[in-house]
Amino acid sequence: MTDIASQYQIGESLPPRSPTYIWRQGDRQLYESLRSGVFCLVLAPPHTGKSSLCLQGMRRLRQDGIACANIDLSKIVKPELTESQFYARIAYTLANRFNLLEDMGGLKSWWKQKQSLYPLSRLAKFIDEVLLPCEFLAEQNIVIFLDKIDSALKLPFSVSNFFRFIRACYERRDSRPAYKRLTFALLGVASPADLLGENNNPTPFAFARIIELNNFELQEAEILGNGLKAKSANYKQLLEAVLSWTGGQPFLTQKLCKLVAEAPDCPMLGEEVSWTENLVQELVIENWENQDEPQHLQIIRDRLLSKGKQTIELLKLYRQILTVPESSGNEAIADIPDLADLADCTREEIELQLSGLVVKQSGKLTVANRIYEAVFNSKWVENNLQIPETQEQSSDSKFTKALAELERQLLVSQLANVAKGKGSERVLYEVVREIALLLGDLLAGDRVTIFLLNPEKNELWSLVAEHEGDEFLDIQVRLGEGIAGQAAESKQAIHIANNLYEDPRSTLVKKSDRKYSYQTYNVLAFPILNEDREVVAIVQLLNKIARPDNPQKMLSERIDRRGFSAEDQMRLTKFAPPICRIMESCQSSYKATKKLRATAALAEATRSLDKSSLDTKEILQRVMDAAKKLMNADRSTLWLVDRDRGDLWTELPGIGELRCEIGTGFAGKVAQSLEPMIIPFDLYEDSNADYAKNTDLKTRYRTCSLLCMPVLNPDGELLGVTQLLNKRKSGDYPEYNFTDWPEPPEQFQASFDESDRQSMQVFNERAGVVLQYARTHEDLERIAKIKPKESVHNTLSMMSNALGAESDEPLYQTLYNMLDFTTKSIRGLLGAEQATIFLFSAEENEFWTLRMEEFGRGIVEVRVPAERGIAREIATSKPREWLYNVRSLTPAKTGAPLRKKSIFPLMGRLGNLVAVLEFFEDSAFSQSSAADREKQLEKRAESMLPILEGFQSFHREIRTIQGKRAIEALWSAILSTSQEGENSPAIVRLVMEAAKTLTNADRSSLWLFDRDRGDLWTNIPGVGELRCPIGTGFAGTVAFSRQEMAIPFDLYDSSNADYAKKVDWKTGYRSCSLLCMPLFSFDGELLGVTQLLNKRKPGEFPDYNMDDWPRVPDHFKVSFNQRDRRYMEIFNNQVGVILEKARQAGMDNWQW
């Protein structure tokens, strides 16, 4: 009997040729996947045969000629292990398993040679430089089994980077073919999120195959019946009875078979079921904690009860599963995914399945077997649910994680708002409110308010929701006022435990209580300080609630009369740093939100103009109304410069025209200094308030605060002064009553601040452009025969809409329409057959214009460098007279006749070159004398200049938007990898993909500098690794010269195209144009070269067909431009930073 029972093994791996090893579907899946080079995860409960599976898999793979090594991490991991020792032991085990120690002279000396690298980087070097290049393994695929991976989670340091490195080995297959020979199999009792620390990434091992280890089916387990034949002729019924209790769980099945085989008696024929039940009750279930040898049930128990706060949730979920009848269709637990669909599981569902206590059957979770159901029954669950957790530890841990999540959400929201050009206080309010609620729960405060410090105003403020939507009250408390204000001023906590209303500091609290019918019994105001011990915020908690709390009682009966404790303040001190970070982010985000709203307000002001009544006054009125609303001012005024009289003027409703001398009053002083001015409440106390008082005397309006700023054109010339009067407090207040003058009403007792100035600055810059167009539309009427009112309106509307566009086409379409209209007007004025306006860009030292392609296929920007020919002559000499019979600024098309042209330069008031007008010298044009043409243009030059300067301004605005768009694309690329942690390869790939998309290139490549070999290398999908010597080909030439290179279409015409042609011949791809730029480290060291291939024409085109090589598709017949170059400069800076940081962290070539 004993010999028969010995074939059943419990609690240890079965040898490869064990007669009782049961082959399951998981065995076949693992073997076939690893043989095909697929990374595998075997994540299964304890005692389900993972280690035995590993041994069987290695045996079969070795028979196929695959080199295998198994690392049992439980034998490596020790509590006192350092990071270097851990990775060294893994490297040693691999070197020993693959017989590499002798060839490498032992691991110890090799490991020491690499001590300048991080420990994980040393392991990466070992695989990259020792294991994969090994000669006797060069023709073999390699499989590394990592067993009991959950043991690594017990180390005193994080091993998430170790498992990210394994993921990186897979990702490197695209760039290094040798890594296609390397495959990993990970086995253990852990979830991918546990291994990588990426709780927000549902599929961190999406590239790997998850192998399920199902419990034994009767047909699979028939081999176990051989050991039961001696107990009963009905041994099959006996085996069925065993499986009915174990559910096919491997450990329990082997154990129960062994108990049956070793039992002193035998079942009567036909009584196998009842006999087995009695055996299970006596030897397994009753007094199970003492009979659980080897331990199995205790492992499940300990796993469930050692999860801290998660234990309660696990037990509640298990209780629900336990109490729902199998036939019930309870939706709460129905359609639960299994471990192969981890992305759709909750943490509790994953943990219960990993414990082995439950399995998925017919789409829902159910208890795995009758033994578990009997041991971990309802009584056991209820008893353990009553075990109190450490309340303070649990609450603190929950609060810490909640703060971290809020900080992440705020960052993502800030980046998203900037990228979309939108802003809302809603996110800030939600974040601050959530922290207040969490603090209330943590410290048992009935009400919590968080005040942020406004250092410019020397006051505290807090957002309070006024209505549904995004409307908020901005509650303000001066420093030194009330309890919160005094806590901020003293930088000390203030705690009033009882008799609050008798304290003289409680004035504001009593006022608020009366307003909201509330009673405050005690209060704690706690300052949040930054590292410089400057106040960032004040946390104010009202009414400490006694615990346990009974919400059904009246508030007065729930109050803890001792107030907030010293422990409460200690916990606030503990959490002050993360709260401080979030509050500082809220402050900066609040300011950015106000600035973003300026653009939206201006766009709305110009978008709603009435076509039928467009005039300068209406445009300006709408612009200033938008500014007033944006800054919550009571009034807004725009003072315009009168160039003839040399003063400022404006119109006030009911008063008429007012004038102000330059240098007089607040507006006059701003016009004189060209500097913004903020006068806080009360303005009448300012020494320069006399002019304002005199104006108020005429208007019977009380000026209490002021924000005054200059409006300038693109050349810095003063156009006017914007003036916002009387910052209003948040809330509903009546309109100003003129009979109250000169008393200041309560709603005006507030001040503008630096944030308002920054918002108004953005507004003023955009308003200046609109103002310039508005002021000159009458000039357009004098230039052209066509009435331009409709055109100017369309221009303003298009410009307003275009500035928010998500692509370049609307921007250039708007500018082209304006430029084309002006060109036609001038051409009609002079009777010229053809005319072109070239604008001059001093920043780029080039002339530019816009042209429509043939058949209206799109707008192209024509650029003429001012470095040679007639362009250089004009840019350097800046002539103020006509140039006759000269070559055109742009070369004629091939085969076209050469035609001489006349050029008229337009100079700005400061002698700067603004533009040149180019005309054909044809017969029609020559009928008018040169003197007449000069007079006509010179007469209108002053009117034309503001228009052309407006074109320059709008063009610069487009450049700015393009730069922002490039940065936004970078943010988007980086954010999309945030779930993967510090995954530099993924970031680089996405950054290069974003660069390709933004520049409309067909392909992008990153050539990396190999410091060991002294050349460049990259990887091309489907081709593999390519190398390029320094100085060879375009990328090599850029690396050698350290200068960017742009090769226009057709690249094959270039004298240096030989290497590109060879690569194309190898890849079957046709290179037509190229933009190539070097990458540098912080110290100017070459890191690599970025390369964009084949600028594409706008539109939808099919992917390149390699069967067409070397023919050129029509949409490749275009070249990269200066805009693409500027984009790539931004992208290159980011890629350089990523590469340099990775290199400094010791992550060498293996990561790329």
The mean-pLDDT minimum among 397-411, 751-765, 772-786 falls in 772-786
State the residue for tokens 């009125």. 621
Q: Is it the case that residue 3 has pLDDT exceeding 60?
A: no
pLDDT score of 138 = 85
Q: Looking at residues 454-483, what average pLDDT do you find?
A: 62
Output the CATH code of domain 786-964: 3.30.450.40
Q: Is it the case that residue 391 has pLDDT exceeding 90?
A: no
Q: Is the pTM of this model over 0.75?
A: no
Alpha-carbon dihedral angle through residues 316, 216, 144, 19, given to the nearest 10 degrees: 140
**Helical segments of 654-708, H only:** 665-673, 690-699
What is the pLDDT confidence band of residue 336, given thresholds at 50, 70 and 90?
A: very low
Q: Is it the case that residue 393 has pLDDT exceeding 80?
A: no
**Cα(1064)–Cα(136) distance, integer angstroms:** 35
pLDDT score of 1140 = 61
Of 683 and 475, the structure prediction assigns the larger pLDDT to: 683
Sheet holding 445-454, edge to edge: 472-478, 459-465, 445-454, 535-544, 523-529, 494-496
Q: Is it the case that residue 787 has pLDDT exceeding 50?
A: no
Q: How far is CA 542 from CA 564, 569, 571, in A?
A: 9, 14, 17
Q: Is it the case that residue 939 has pLDDT exceeding 90?
A: no
Amino acid at 772: Q
pLDDT score of 792 = 42
Peptide bond into 710 cis (omega under 30): no
pLDDT score of 29 = 92
pLDDT score of 270 = 86
- Phi, then psi, of 727 in degrees rounded to 5: -60, 130
Closest C-alpha among 723, 722, 674 to residue 703? 723
Would the CATH topology of 25-210 be identical to that of 391-595? no
724-746 per-position pLDDT tens digit: 999 988 777 888 888 888 899 98
Output the CATH code of domain 612-772: 3.30.450.40
The mean-pLDDT minimum among 54-63, 848-857, 924-933 falls in 924-933
Q: Give first-to-last CA distance, the chain, whole Å.
A: 61
Tell me if 406 sits within 8 A of 434, measured CB to CB: yes
Tell me if 773 sits within 8 A of 780, measured CB to CB: no
**Cα(146)–Cα(165) distance, integer angstroms:** 13
411 backbone φψ class: left, alpha, beta (φ>0; ψ -120 to 50): alpha
Q: Which of the 8 DSSP states describes residue 833?
A: S
What is the pLDDT confidence band of residue 784, given thresholds at 50, 70 and 90?
A: very low
**Cα(486)–Cα(954) distance, integer angstroms:** 50
Q: Looking at residues 1091-1112, what average pLDDT do you find?
A: 85
How would you class 982 by CB atoms within 10 Å of its CB: exposed for 0-12, middle for 13-18, buried for 19 or more?
A: middle
Tokens of 1080: 């540098």
CATH 3.30.450.40 fits 391-595, yes or no: yes
Supply angle C-alpha 306, 309, 315, rounded to 5: 70
The mean-pLDDT minimum among 230-234, 356-360, 896-900 falls in 896-900
Tokens of 87: 């990775």
What is the pLDDT confidence band of residue 181, given thresholds at 50, 70 and 90?
A: very high
Q: Is it the case that residue 1053 has pLDDT exceeding 70?
A: yes
Q: Is it the case that residue 170 has pLDDT exceeding 60?
A: yes
Output the CATH code of domain 25-210: 3.40.50.300
Sheet holding 209-210, edge to edge: 67-72, 142-147, 182-188, 40-43, 209-210
pLDDT score of 5 = 54
pLDDT score of 882 = 64
Task: Give 114-117 contacts, CB < 8 A, sequence gap 24+.
Answer: 116/1146, 117/1146, 117/1148
Percent of the chain surpassing pLDDT 90: 16
Mean model confidence pLDDT for the chain = 77
Closest C-alpha among 660, 726, 666, 656 to residue 690? 666
What is the pLDDT confidence band of residue 1149, given thresholds at 50, 70 and 90?
A: very low
536-573 per-position pLDDT tens digit: 889 999 999 987 777 778 888 888 888 898 878 888 88
Q: Is it the case that residue 917 has pLDDT exceeding 90?
A: no
- Phi, then psi, of 494 in degrees rounded to 5: -120, 125
pLDDT score of 1005 = 84
Q: Looking at residues 597-626, what average pLDDT do you find?
A: 53
The mean-pLDDT minimum among 72-76, 704-708, 1011-1015 falls in 1011-1015
Q: Looking at residues 293-314, what average pLDDT do you find?
A: 83
Of 678 and 804, the structure prediction assigns the larger pLDDT to: 678
pLDDT score of 127 = 93
Tell me if 86 sits within 8 A of 155, measured CB to CB: yes
How would you classify the pairing of strands 182-188 and 40-43? Answer: parallel
pLDDT score of 141 = 94
pLDDT score of 927 = 44
Q: Looking at residues 881-910, what average pLDDT do you find?
A: 63
Any idea where the domains of the chain sit in the sequence?
Answer: 25-210, 216-286, 287-383, 391-595, 612-772, 786-964, 978-1151
pLDDT score of 429 = 67
State the residue for tokens 């980086």. 974
What's the per-residue H, E or C state across 29-88? HHHHHHHCCCCEEEECCCCCCHHHHHHHHHHHHHHCCCEEEEEEHHHHCCCCCCHHHHHH
357-381 per-position pLDDT tens digit: 998 877 788 999 999 999 999 999 9
Q: Looking at residues 493-500, what average pLDDT do you find?
A: 89
Q: Is it the case that residue 149 has pLDDT exceeding 50?
A: yes
Q: Is it the case that residue 147 has pLDDT exceeding 60?
A: yes
pLDDT score of 367 = 93
Please tell me the CATH superfamily of domain 978-1151, with its number. GAF domain (3.30.450.40)
61-107 per-position pLDDT tens digit: 999 999 999 999 988 887 667 888 899 999 999 999 999 988 888 88
Q: Looking at residues 219-239, what average pLDDT do you find?
A: 86
Of 284 and 1097, the structure prediction assigns the larger pLDDT to: 284
pLDDT score of 69 = 93
3-state DSSP: the chain helix, strand, coil percent, rounded to 5? 50, 20, 30
What is the pLDDT confidence band of residue 1101, given thresholds at 50, 70 and 90?
A: confident
**Cα(879)–Cα(860) distance, integer angstroms:** 28
pLDDT score of 333 = 42
Tell me if 714 sits within 8 A of 952, measured CB to CB: yes
pLDDT score of 191 = 76
Percent of the chain surpassing pLDDT 70: 73
Q: Is it the case that residue 625 has pLDDT exceeding 80?
A: no
Q: Is it the case that residue 775 has pLDDT exceeding 70?
A: no
